[in-house]
Chains A and B, each alone.
Chain A
Amino acid sequence: DTEVTQTPKHLVMGMTNKKSLKCEQHMGHRAMYWYKQKAKKPPELMFVYSYEKLSINESVPSRFSPECPNSSLLNLHLHALQPEDSALYLCASSGVEGSGQPQHFGDGTRLSIL
């Protein structure tokens, strides 16, 4: 069982919808990450939160809005997405950003944009 929990597992939404992806970890990790992964490609980093503050934004379009309400939770708010945003969205956590500690991934949310 993964120690990083993501909900929902699958999401289908229209281009005008607003939805949120959720991620939770109870490992005491202080760094949390959002990745996007397309088929047959490696994960691409989107955002990094370190001690609940946004540390890295990899020039992600504003239709993706991250939020870190507390040290265990990470959200990704979605609005006005495009069909090319269909992908597997992965959340990960690690002990401390920049420490070289391993990142542990959740099971992901499979997102389809109609």
Chain B
Amino acid sequence: QKEVEQNSGPLSVPEGAIASLNCTYSDRGSQSFFWYRQYSGKSPELIMFIYSNGDKEDGRFTAQLNTASQYVSLLIRDSQPSDSATYLCAMTGTASKLTFGTGTRLQVTL
């Protein structure tokens, strides 16, 4: 079992819709959770981080954490074509290093 699992996609959503990206993890010691956006050929860009159970909102982005079920998700409201990218879920926990999922490719269609 991979430590951090994401559906590779592509996840296709129409412009203006809500995109829901999910990530599950196996290390119950994971404590800090991050979402990075990566455009093709570019470097990862931090868009959200969450440290406690529940929801955290920042503009059109909402991160959701459920440690009991060991999942973290990212919701993108009013999706725009510029949101088309690969979204990497990452976390730190018992080991201080950042563990990445394989990423979900999001396509926002016109």
| Contacts from A to B (Cβ < 8 Å) | 2, 41-43, 45, 48, 56, 88, 90, 97-98, 100-108
B61 at the interface (CB under 8 A from A): no
Contact: B96 with A103, CB < 8 Å? Answer: no
Contact: B100 with A106, CB < 8 Å? Answer: no
Contact: A100 with B51, CB < 8 Å? Answer: yes
Interchain Cβ contacts within 8 Å, total number: 45
| Closest CB in chain A relative to B69 CB, distance in Å | 20
Contact: B96 with A42, CB < 8 Å? Answer: no
Contact: B46 with A103, CB < 8 Å? Answer: yes
B17 at the interface (CB under 8 A from A): no
On chain A, the residues within 8 Å of B45 by CB distance are: 105
Nearest CB to that of B92 among chain A residues? A100
Instruction: Say which residue of A56, A101, A107 sits within 8 Å of B42 (CB atoms).
Output: A107
- Interface core residue of A48, A90, A100, A102 (most chain B CB under 10 Å): A100
